[in-house]
């Protein structure tokens, strides 16, 4: 299933980009795992269409640190764009394994991590056990927001 | 429909090519106009402003005995003088012309709705015809123009303008805020694209100013107050004490004696000066001055006189005082120049934190032989000559985070700077990080080519981050080479930020003093961007140099000569006609209450209760009309903007479907021009607004608002200049007061007060004007016809009661 | 001063020591904490990227619990504060999104009304009244050269996280942790790329090695300034520096490791709490020697 991402992000905002590359220049992910950075992402969206971007697994190479948006002289809401693009990628099944595992855990336990002997560990620090999260309620909310259509467990 | 007490109006509907004709069906509008009372003939033509178009008008005036002319075309701010001249040459008084603005206020702002635009054009023509029928011939008075000029700002533009006017034989006061003329150009090492030595070509002009018999140079001086009008400005200038007399020979003996230090502004803070100093070697006047903020002898206490002791001519005078000079001038040239952008706020670049990150202005001083390093390019951290130098372009320019515009000079300045380094130290590696290189001027592309040929590396992509190595002071630039699509890390010895320019920090003070308009970037606005590029909307005031917009030395000098030439035309003619739009008082109705005199911003109404009458001093009246609505007895009226004329416009505007309409009153200088700007920018807004122009929003009478609502207008807008920017000495505070009073009345009578809107819209705020109309339209949609009807009845009732009482 | 304590996931599950330290510090400075049945925030680095609507709805549920208790939310993690502040902002701004979320939550008897504020422990401790209390309660100094790492999600994007600081600043960077620590005798040290990401989200989602490479670079800048320890306000950043140095050490053979503290652990030490009280014993990079050198145990 696909969604039109321009419903979620105003495409006109991208027209203001003049490709100065301050975004990619400040991107920590680009330094260590060359993908294509915000500048190229915007250019591809404009010139090739966003399909080309969301089909590539490199769209996930990002720290979500938002420094790109901080540096942007045109105040383009780059982080919103990247969120919209990745939502679209996930709907097409382009989603890193680690991430889908984390979300599965969240749906099952209401928390995004799990450890053995939690109660003992908390007791070591003088803390009472952590109450269980209301999993049924969360599952119901997730069902109604339509997440289950995107990721099946 | 002809004949209305002998009134014969000719109506000309202009297609303006496709500009109007593409949206408005002009033939249909002309057809409609023929039915209007008093119209003797109506026709449409492709270009009414063309020679044949004007000839047609002249011919018709003679042939068809027209005694009024209505041209429906562009804004009167553009072609009113053209058509007035045409009328005059055919023997018709120019004040019998009226224009309907169906381009800026209609076709350009309703591009996609031909029917609505055509209907609106018909209304605008009907309003113009209604007013035209009430127009009367007027005769302009002539006032003398003082053959003296003032130039504000002593940079290269101010210098050029002063010299051009002085050479033409007029007395010039050159007012400069700092201790010497010279401005930014004096700080720069070389000029592009010719690589001339900047101070070498400027210094002779500076000395010429110093010795010119027609120029009085006022340094350390600031304009405090400007009164009067074109041809006759009365200016107060504060001349601060220099504490050193003219006898100073600039020998410099005092410097060594002075114990107090300060950063040297001329060297961009890279060196130290004393409390007594001369701004720079070539300064004009070549006289030292004392910086009283640093001197120990502040506030009358003499704690130290070492410089005085050291001075063999004894020309230091601690008792000197500031003085206020009164100047009478006929014309003013504004050349206040620019400041450079301070990049400290862009924390990722480390300016102010990393010593080896400097600005281009600091670089100019570093590479200049008269600068702090004697022309040696050295790194501030260790005084070593840098081997690898980077220039970063567009710092503080083209950015919504700083200045949104292109600063125009930085590209070529960097290319020039890079070549200068190559010239002195050819082994230096130079990298220029850019977005676009704009080499648009004469000789610019050649210079850019030369830089590339000499091995300057141009990298497309501005660094996102600069990292300093704290041990060496070296800098690492992180970024992306967009042409290669690759991330880069460049290690540099020195980084030069090519900072943009912005209006001088005092530009807004001068703007208020002279009632100038500024664009959204803060630069002064021209009267017309193409055809009156050095005039301002204030008569007799002209613009020169970068104060009007970022520009290089050549363009500044060109514009300065143009401004001087425009001022010279006025001064050589020696007189100027002023529009016949003054107020007048009907002595039969005047009760000598004196309320009008109290609101007049020019003290142009004189009289007293004892005397039994008040009268308008015509030469002093500026024609804002603020006094007219103040009179409770209807004794006042404004020439050419009479009650009769405006009321007939209101009648025509609201003749059909008043409930759906917004009636807008807009002042000539800001709001009407703002609506024009919305048109020029093709900003689309709802078509149900009908605009009536007055000179000042203070002319808008509450009785007009009342009348509009009684006629069933859905909404009324009163708009004028922003409070501090009023072109009539804050006359628009009366506007605000009157609107507020009307709101209270509406509230009291249970009428939705949102239907009356007060909005300040400047000439540059086309988008703001459109926004206001859109918001009013949204409010209008929530109203029912019944509500409008009920409100009209309530107001009618109270009006009837009031008139019965009197 | 009362807050609903929002623990998140990483702190109560992976680093309960931070929770213990925070509860003890808050008690000492007179901040009352109330526990509510919250769930995962969910993180701006996971759920938001995959399914925005779910992210917003789950965040809204957490906000509703605090609204129902009439308390502002106090978070301990940069990720949590980012999600909850942004969701709070969006739901207040957008009528359509608020309606959509409320339609889903009404089945569970929740309704978002936008009545509370979301804040972070650093901002709470940095308030004037709390600082005054801290000065009174402080029993010893912690005289270490410390580098502060704020964590990107704590302050970016500033238009959501710190709109009040934005008036003229062209790029906003926080200073609160440096200022706060200086009152307990810490010497806060500036270092290059202070506001660079720790590398955690990149590692967690995609490429662990790449994530640690960012950490390695950042640690390099920190070593350049002879910084003795790091202070963080986020468990993910903490893990990246603490665990990260062990992982990196296997490759780089770097022997000197820099201990990392969670903010309230340092404050706790200054208030006289022991290393064990604030949970330092479970850190991978031990701070024992360092603390002994300044006679804090």
User: What residue spans define the domains of chain B?
Assistant: 1-140, 141-240+322-337+507-575, 241-321, 342-502, 583-627, 654-806
Mark which residues 208-247 of C lie under 8 Å from B by CB.
221, 224-225
| SS3 label, residue C143 | coil
Selected residue of B347, B437, B480 to mutate for chain A interface (largest A Cβ count, 10 A)? B480
Average pLDDT estimate for B331-356: 95
Contact partners for chain A, using 3 or more CB pairs closer than 8 A, are: B, C
* pLDDT value of residue B729: 82
Q: What is the Cα–Cα distance from A6 to B736, expressed in whole angstroms?
A: 44
Q: What is the Cα–Cα distance from C269 to C254, expressed in whole angstroms?
A: 28
Residue pair B361/B269 in contact by the 8 Å Cβ criterion: no
Q: Which residues of C touch B348 (CB under 8 A)?
A: 171
| Å between B341 CA and nearest CA of chain C | 13
Q: Where are the alpha helices (DSSP H) in B300-387?
A: 306-310, 360-367
* pLDDT value of residue B802: 84
* pLDDT value of residue A152: 57
Residue pair B177/B205 in contact by the 8 Å Cβ criterion: no
Does the CB of A116 have a partner CB in chain C at under 8 Å?
A: no
- Token pair of B684, please? 């689309």
Q: Is C281 left (phi over 0), alpha (psi -120 to 50) or beta?
A: alpha
At B499, give phi and psi (nearest 5°): -80, 150
Q: Which residues of B touch C171 (CB under 8 A)?
A: 345-348, 401
- Which residues are B608's β-sheet partners? B613
Q: Burial, C133: exposed, middle or buried (Cβ in 10 Å; 0-12, 13-18, 19+)?
A: middle
Enter the DSSP assignment of C170.
Answer: S
Q: What is the Cα–Cα distance from B161 to B540, expressed in whole angstroms?
A: 14
- Higher-confidence residue of C166 and B403: namely B403
Residue pair A44/A56 in contact by the 8 Å Cβ criterion: no
Q: What is the Cα–Cα distance from B753 to B758, expressed in whole angstroms?
A: 11
Question: Using the beta-carbon criterion (under 8 Å), do A26 and B465 form an inter-chain contact?
Answer: yes
**B215: CB partners within 8 A, 6+ apart:** B162, B163, B166, B172, B173, B174, B209
Average pLDDT estimate for B794-804: 89
Dump pLDDT digits (tens) for B498-553.
Answer: 999 999 999 999 998 998 888 889 999 998 888 899 999 888 999 999 999 999 99
Question: Using the beta-carbon criterion (under 8 Å), do C170 and B402 form an inter-chain contact?
Answer: yes
Dump pLDDT digits (tens) for B67-100.
Answer: 999 999 999 999 999 999 999 999 999 999 999 9
Check whether A153 has a pLDDT greater than 60.
no
CATH of domain B342-502: 3.50.50.60
Question: Using the beta-carbon criterion (under 8 Å), do B470 and C225 form an inter-chain contact?
Answer: yes
Dump pLDDT digits (tens) for B126-138.
Answer: 999 999 999 999 9
Q: Which of C65, C43, C60 is nearest to C101 (CA)?
A: C60
Cβ contacts below 8 Å, chain B against chain C, sum to 22
Question: Using the beta-carbon criterion (under 8 Å), do A40 and B485 form an inter-chain contact?
Answer: yes
Average pLDDT estimate for B36-41: 95
Q: Which residues of A touch C274 (CB under 8 A)?
A: none
Task: Give the DSSP H or E segment for B454.
Answer: none
Question: Using the beta-carbon criterion (under 8 Å), do A103 and C47 form an inter-chain contact?
Answer: yes
| Å between C282 CA and nearest CA of chain B | 34
Q: Which residues of A touch C57 (CB under 8 A)?
A: 141-142, 144-145
Does the CB of B343 have a partner CB in chain A at under 8 Å?
A: no
Report the residue of chain B nearest A68, measured CA to CA: B464
Q: What is the Cα–Cα distance from A69 to B497, expressed in whole angstroms?
A: 21
* pLDDT value of residue C167: 57
Q: Which of B694, B583, B693, B598 is nearest to B635 (CA)?
A: B583
Residue pair B243/B292 in contact by the 8 Å Cβ criterion: yes
Dump pLDDT digits (tens) for B406-434.
Answer: 999 999 999 999 999 999 999 999 999 99
Which of C42, C171, C199 comes nearest A63 by C-beta? Answer: C199
* pLDDT value of residue A35: 81
Question: Using the beta-carbon criterion (under 8 Å), do B462 and A31 form an inter-chain contact?
Answer: no
The domain defined by B141-240+322-337+507-575 carries CATH number 3.90.850.10: no
Q: What is the Cα–Cα distance from C262 to A51, expressed in whole angstroms?
A: 42
Question: Using the beta-carbon criterion (under 8 Å), do C50 and A125 form an inter-chain contact?
Answer: no
Does the CB of C167 have a partner CB in chain B at under 8 Å?
A: no
* pLDDT value of residue A116: 85
* Percentage of residues of chain B with pLDDT beyond 70: 99
* pLDDT value of residue B617: 86
Selected residue of C17, C21, C35, C51 to mutate for chain A interface (largest A Cβ count, 10 A)? C51
| Å between B403 CA and nearest CA of chain C | 11
Average pLDDT estimate for B20-44: 96
Query: Which residue is listed with tokens 């003093």?
Result: B513
Please give the domain boundaries of chain A with CATH numbers for all domains: 5-91 (1.10.1060.10), 97-148 (no CATH)
Question: Using the beta-carbon criterion (under 8 Å), do C221 and B467 form an inter-chain contact?
Answer: yes
What is the pLDDT tens value at each position of chain C, 297 positions in all? 999 999 999 999 999 999 999 999 999 999 999 999 999 999 999 999 999 999 999 999 999 999 999 999 999 999 999 999 999 999 999 999 999 999 999 999 999 999 999 999 999 999 999 999 999 999 999 999 999 999 999 999 988 998 877 655 667 889 999 999 999 999 999 999 999 999 999 988 888 999 999 999 999 999 999 999 999 999 999 999 999 999 999 988 888 899 999 999 999 999 999 999 999 999 999 999 999 999 886
Q: Which class is B583-627 in CATH?
A: alpha beta
* pLDDT value of residue A1: 40
**What topology is assigned to B1-140 in CATH?**
Rossmann fold (3.40.50)
Dump pLDDT digits (tens) for B258-292.
Answer: 999 999 999 999 999 999 999 999 999 999 999 99
Report the residue of chain A nearest B345, measured CA to CA: A71
* pLDDT value of residue A2: 46
* pLDDT value of residue B114: 96
On the question of a common fold for B1-140 and B654-806, the answer reads yes
- Token pair of C294, please? 């300044």
Please give the domain boundaries of chain C with CATH numbers for all domains: 2-121 (1.20.1050.140), 140-293 (3.40.50.11810)
Dump pLDDT digits (tens) for B628-671.
Answer: 999 999 999 999 999 999 999 999 999 999 999 999 999 999 99
* pLDDT value of residue B303: 85
Average pLDDT estimate for B581-610: 92
**What topology is assigned to B654-806 in CATH?**
Rossmann fold (3.40.50)
Cβ contacts below 8 Å, chain A against chain C, sum to 186
Measure Cα distances from C120 to B470, C7, C34, C239 in Å: 33, 11, 15, 19
């Amino acid at each position: 299933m696909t969604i039109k991402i321009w419903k979620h992000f105003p495409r006109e905002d991208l027209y203001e980009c003049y490709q100065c590359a301050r975004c990619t220049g400040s991107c920590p992910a680009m330094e260590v795992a060359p993908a294509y950075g915000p500048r190229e992402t915007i250019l591809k969206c404009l010139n090739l269409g966003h399909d080309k971007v969301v089909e590539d697994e490199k769209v996930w190479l990002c720290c979500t640190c938002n420094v790109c948006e901080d540096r942007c002289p045109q105040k383009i809401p780059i982080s919103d764009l990247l969120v919209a693009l990745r939502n679209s990628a996930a709907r097409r099944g382009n989603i890193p394994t680690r991430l889908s595992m984390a979300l599965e855990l969240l749906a099952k336990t209401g928390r995004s991590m799990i450890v053995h002997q939690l109660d003992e560990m908390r007791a070591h620090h003088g803390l009472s056990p952590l109450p269980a999260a209301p999993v049924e309620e969360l599952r119901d909310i997730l069902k109604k927001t339509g997440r289950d259509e995107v990721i099946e467990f | 429909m002809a004949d209305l007490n002998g009134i014969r109006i000719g109506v000309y509907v202009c297609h303006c090519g496709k500009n109007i004709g593409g949206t408005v069906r002009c033939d249909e509008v002309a057809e409609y106009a023929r039915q209007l009372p008093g119209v003797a003939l109506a026709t449409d033509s492709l270009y009414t402003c063309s020679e044949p178009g004007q000839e047609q008008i002249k011919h018709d005036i003679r042939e068809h005995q027209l005694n009024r002319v209505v041209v429906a075309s562009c804004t009167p701010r553009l072609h009113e003088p053209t058509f007035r001249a045409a009328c005059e040459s055919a023997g018709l008084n120019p004040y019998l012309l009226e224009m309907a603005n169906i381009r800026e206020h209609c076709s350009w702002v309703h591009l996609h709705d031909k029917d609505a635009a055509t209907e609106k054009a018909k209304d605008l023509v009907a309003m113009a015809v209604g007013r035209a029928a009430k127009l009367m011939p007027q005769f302009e008075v002539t006032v003398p123009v003082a053959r003296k000029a003032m130039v504000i700002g002593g940079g290269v533009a101010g210098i050029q303008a002063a010299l051009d006017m002085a050479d033409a034989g007029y007395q010039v006061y050159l007012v400069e805020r700092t201790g010497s003329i010279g401005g930014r150009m004096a700080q720069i090492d070389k000029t592009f694209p010719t690589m001339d030595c900047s101070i070498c070509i400027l210094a002779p002009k500076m000395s010429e100013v110093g010795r010119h018999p027609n120029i009085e140079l006022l340094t350390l001086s600031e304009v405090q107050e400007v009164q009067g009008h074109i041809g006759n400005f009365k200016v107060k200038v504060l001349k601060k004490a220099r504490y050193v007399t003219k006898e100073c020979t600039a020998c410099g003996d005092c410097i060594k004696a002075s114990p107090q230090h300060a950063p040297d502004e001329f060297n961009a803070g890279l060196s130290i000066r004393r409390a007594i100093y001369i701004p720079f070697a070539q300064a004009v006047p070549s006289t030292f001055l004392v910086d009283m903020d640093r001197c120990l002898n502040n506030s009358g206490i003499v704690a130290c006189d070492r410089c005085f002791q050291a001075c063999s001519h004894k020309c230091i005078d601690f008792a000197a005082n500031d003085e206020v000079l009164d100047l009478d001038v006929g014309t003013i040239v504004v050349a206040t120049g620019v400041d450079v952008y301070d990049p400290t706020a862009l924390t990722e670049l480390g300016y102010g934190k990393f010593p080896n990150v400097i600005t281009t202005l600091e670089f100019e001083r570093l590479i200049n032989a008269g600068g702090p390093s004697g022309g040696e390019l050295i790194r501030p951290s260790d005084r070593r000559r840098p081997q690898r130098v980077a220039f970063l372009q567009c710092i503080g320019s083209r950015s919504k985070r700083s200045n949104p515009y292109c600063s125009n000079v930085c590209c070529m300045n960097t290319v020039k700077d890079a070549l200068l380094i190559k010239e002195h130290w050819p082994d230096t590696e130079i990298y220029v990080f850019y977005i676009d290189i704009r080499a648009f001027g004469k000789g610019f592309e050649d210079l850019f080519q030369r830089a590339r040929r000499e091995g300057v590396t141009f990298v497309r992509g501005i660094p996102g981050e600069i990292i300093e190595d704290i041990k060496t002071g070296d800098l690492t630039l992180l970024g992306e080479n967009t042409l290669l699509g690759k991330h880069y890390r460049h290690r540099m010895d020195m980084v030069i930020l090519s900072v943009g320019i912005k209006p001088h920090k005092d530009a807004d003070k001068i703007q208020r003093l002279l009632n100038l308009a500024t664009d959204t970037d803060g630069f002064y606005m021209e009267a017309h961007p193409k055809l009156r590029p050095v005039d301002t909307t204030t008569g007799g005031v002209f613009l020169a140099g970068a104060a009007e917009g970022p520009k290089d030395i050549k363009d500044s000098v060109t514009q300065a000569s143009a401004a001087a030439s425009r001022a010279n035309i006025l001064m050589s003619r020696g007189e100027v006609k002023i529009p016949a739009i003054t107020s007048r008082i009907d002595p039969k109705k005047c009760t000598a209450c004196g309320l009008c005199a109290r609101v007049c911003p020019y003290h142009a109404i004189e009289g007293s209760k004892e005397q039994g009458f008040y009268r308008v001093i015509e030469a002093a009246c500026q024609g804002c009309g603020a006094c007219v609505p103040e009179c409770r007895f209807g004794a006042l009226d404004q020439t050419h903007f009479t009650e009769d004329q405006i009321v007939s416009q209101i009648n025509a505007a609201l003749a059909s479907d008043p409930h759906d309409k917004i009636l807008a009153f807009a002042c000539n200088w800001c709001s009407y021009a703002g609506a024009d700007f919305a048109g020029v920018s093709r900003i689309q807004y709802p078509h149900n607004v009908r605009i009536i122009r007055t000179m000042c929003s203070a002319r808008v009478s509450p009785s007009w608002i009342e009348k509009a609502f009684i006629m069933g207008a859905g909404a009324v807008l009163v708009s004028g200049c922003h409070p501090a920017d009023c072109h009539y000495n804050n006359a628009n505070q009366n506007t605000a007061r009157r609107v507020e009073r009307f709101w209270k009345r509406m509230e009291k009578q249970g009428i939705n007060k949102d239907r009356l809107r007060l909005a300040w819209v400047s000439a540059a705020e086309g988008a703001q004007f459109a926004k206001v109309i859109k918001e009013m339209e949204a409010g209008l949609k929530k109203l029912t016809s019944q509500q409008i009807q009920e409100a009209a009845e309530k107001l009618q009732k109270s009006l009837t009661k009031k008139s019965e009482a009197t | 001063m009362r807050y609903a304590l929002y623990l998140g996931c990483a702190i109560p599950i992976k680093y309960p020591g931070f929770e213990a330290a925070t509860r003890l510090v808050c008690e000492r400075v007179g901040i009352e904490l109330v526990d509510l049945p919250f769930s995962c925030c969910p993180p701006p680095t996971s759920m938001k990227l995959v399914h925005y609507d779910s992210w917003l709805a789950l965040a809204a549920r957490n906000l509703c619990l605090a609204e129902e208790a009439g308390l502002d939310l106090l978070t301990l993690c940069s990720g949590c504060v980012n999600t909850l502040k942004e969701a709070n902002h969006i739901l207040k701004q957008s009528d359509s999104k608020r309606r959509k979320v409320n339609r889903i939550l009404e089945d569970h008897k929740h309704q978002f009304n936008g009545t509370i504020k979301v804040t972070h422990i650093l901002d709470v401790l940095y308030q004037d009244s709390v600082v005054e209390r801290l000065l009174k309660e402080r029993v010893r100094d912690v005289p270490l050269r410390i580098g502060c790492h704020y964590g990107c999600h704590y302050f970016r994007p500033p238009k959501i996280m710190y709109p009040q600081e934005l008036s003229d600043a062209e790029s906003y960077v926080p200073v609160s942790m440096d200022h706060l620590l200086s009152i307990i005798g810490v010497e806060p040290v500036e270092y290059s790329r202070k506001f660079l990401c720790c590398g955690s989200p990149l590692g967690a989602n995609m490429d662990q090695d790449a994530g640690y490479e960012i950490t390695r670079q950042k640690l390099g800048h920190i070593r350049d300034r002879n910084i003795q320890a790091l202070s963080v306000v986020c468990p993910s950043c903490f893990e990246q520096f603490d665990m990260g140095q062990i992982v990196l050490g296997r490759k780089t053979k770097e022997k000197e490791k820099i201990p990392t503290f969670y903010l309230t652990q340092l404050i706790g030490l200054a208030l006289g709490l022991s290393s064990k009280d604030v949970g330092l014993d479970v850190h991978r990079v031990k701070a024992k020697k360092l603390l002994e050198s300044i006679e804090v145990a």
